[in-house]
């Protein structure tokens, strides 16, 4: 019977520990830890230290640390994409502006404006750097 899994962010250390215990008791031979259990363990890193999680769940400290790092990178990539629709220029003047930015993560933003700019370019750039 499939087990209903709580999201990793709402799971407690005791709940995840119980899931690991059930998995260890029900397996017939040595095998890889399922991805759902790794994800649940990595999700605990917001509340507990890597040492505490690895000791409580009897996991390899380095393997858990690598999973948490990979999870954090994936989450930051998911949250880094943003699209902002800008209104068309209102003026008929022929002023042009190119703005290109790249942050330390390699994310790039390029903007080209023709005519009068009716919004705060500085605020747009600051929002890009904060992400």
- Mean pLDDT across the stretch 5-25? 78
> pLDDT grade, residue 21 (50/70/90)?
very high
Listed in order, strand segments (DSSP E) in 1-131 are 96-102, 108-114
Q: How confident is the model at residue 8 (pLDDT cuts 50, 70, 90)?
A: very low
- Quick check: helix, strand or coil at residue 128? helix
pLDDT value of residue 2: 46
> What's the pLDDT at 6?
44
Distances (CA, A) of 41 to 1, 3, 56, 71: 22, 16, 10, 11
Would you tell me how many other CB atoms lie within 10 Å of the CB of residue 50?
19
DSSP secondary structure code for residue 105 in this structure: T
Handedness of CA 111, 116, 121, 123 (dihedral sign): negative
Per-residue pLDDT at 17: 93
Residue 23 vs residue 129, higher pLDDT: 23
What average pLDDT does the chain have? 79
Residue 7 pLDDT: 45
Residue 82's pLDDT band, with cuts at 50, 70 and 90, is low
Confidence label for 15 from pLDDT (cuts 50, 70 and 90): very high
CA pair distance 43, 41, nearest whole angstrom: 5
Check residue 97 and report its DSSP letter: E
């Amino acid at each position: 019977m499939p087990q209903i899994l709580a999201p990793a962010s709402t799971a407690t250390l005791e709940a995840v520990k119980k899931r690991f215990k059930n998995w260890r008791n029900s397996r017939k031979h040595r095998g890889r830890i399922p991805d759902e259990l790794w994800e649940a363990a990595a999700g605990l890193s917001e509340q507990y230290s890597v040492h505490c999680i690895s000791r409580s769940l009897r996991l390899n400290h380095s393997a858990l640390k690598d999973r948490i790092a990979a999870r954090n990178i994936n989450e930051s990539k998911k949250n880094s994409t943003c699209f902002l629709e800008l209104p068309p220029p209102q003026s008929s003047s022929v002023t042009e502006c190119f703005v290109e930015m790249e942050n330390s993560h390699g994310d790039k933003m390029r903007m080209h404006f023709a005519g009068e700019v009716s919004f705060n370019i500085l605020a747009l750039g600051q929002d890009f750097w904060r992400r």
